[in-house]
């Protein structure tokens, strides 16, 4: 009586303190109670499982590499474009002005979108993977495809850019 069921080791170390769906505080709640705010059952074993931890680690690694690749693309694009504009300006003075530089800035700013997405995925990796896994029939936590798509694209473009710089 009063005995808690045996839990897997990692569960003992990670406490589910907030609802993984709506972030409502689960403090002072029975360990098997559904979320009082959104009414969802919370699969605490899934949320703290080593499988979800692996998927979270992989997602964060993809996001980190992807953010670095997108940032390097932006820096390289901005640097090469401004350098080219200054070279062109020395040949054709007055032809390339503020609007051309503004254009470079605008095109460089496009990378804010994938970087912002990846920052958000990095931050909310566990919740995103939990939600996805809890909807699956086999409840298997997996690396989200959109994480691979956006960050893989960044890394691919970065590698292509490196190859083009080679003689």
Total Cβ atoms within 10 A of residue 16: 17
Residue 150 and residue 118 in contact, taking contact as beta carbons nearer than 8 Å: yes
- In whole angstroms, how far apart are CA 115 and each of 60, 77, 147? 13, 16, 11
Toward Zn ion, which CB reaches closer, 24 or 77? 24
Segments in the chain forming alpha helices (H):
9-13, 44-47, 50-91, 98-108, 112-123, 125-135, 145-165
Stretch that binds Zn ion, among 37-45, 93-101, 105-113, 134-142 (CB under 5 A): 37-45
Residue 69 and residue 26 in contact, taking contact as beta carbons nearer than 8 Å: no
Asked if residue 44 binds Zn ion (CB under 5 A), the reply is no
Among 12, 33, 38, 87, binds Zn ion (CB under 5 A): 38
Toward Zn ion, which CB reaches closer, 21 or 153? 21
Toward Zn ion, which CB reaches closer, 41 or 84? 41
Asked if residue 21 binds Zn ion (CB under 5 A), the reply is yes
Stretch that binds Zn ion, among 33-41, 57-65, 73-81, 119-127 (CB under 5 A): 33-41
Asked if residue 12 binds Zn ion (CB under 5 A), the reply is no
Q: Which residues bind Zn ion (CB under 5 A)?
A: 19, 21-22, 24, 35, 37-38
């Amino acid at each position: 009586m009063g005995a808690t069921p045996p839990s897997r080791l990692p569960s003992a170390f990670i406490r589910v303190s907030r609802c993984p769906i709506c972030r409502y505080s689960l403090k002072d709640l029975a360990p098997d109670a559904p979320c009082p705010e959104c009414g969802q059952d919370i699969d605490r074993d899934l949320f703290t499982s080593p499988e979800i931890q692996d998927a979270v680690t992989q997602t964060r690694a993809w996001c980190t590499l992807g953010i670095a690749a997108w940032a390097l693309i932006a820096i390289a694009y901005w640097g090469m474009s401004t350098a080219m504009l200054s070279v062109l300006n020395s040949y054709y003075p007055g032809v390339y002005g503020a609007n051309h530089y503004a254009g470079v800035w605008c095109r460089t700013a496009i990378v804010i979108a994938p970087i912002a997405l990846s920052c958000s995925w990095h931050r909310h990796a566990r919740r995103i993977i939990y939600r996805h896994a809890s909807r699956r029939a086999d409840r298997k936590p997996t690396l989200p495809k959109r994480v691979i798509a956006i960050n893989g694209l960044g890394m691919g473009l970065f590698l292509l850019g490196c190859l083009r710089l080679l003689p």
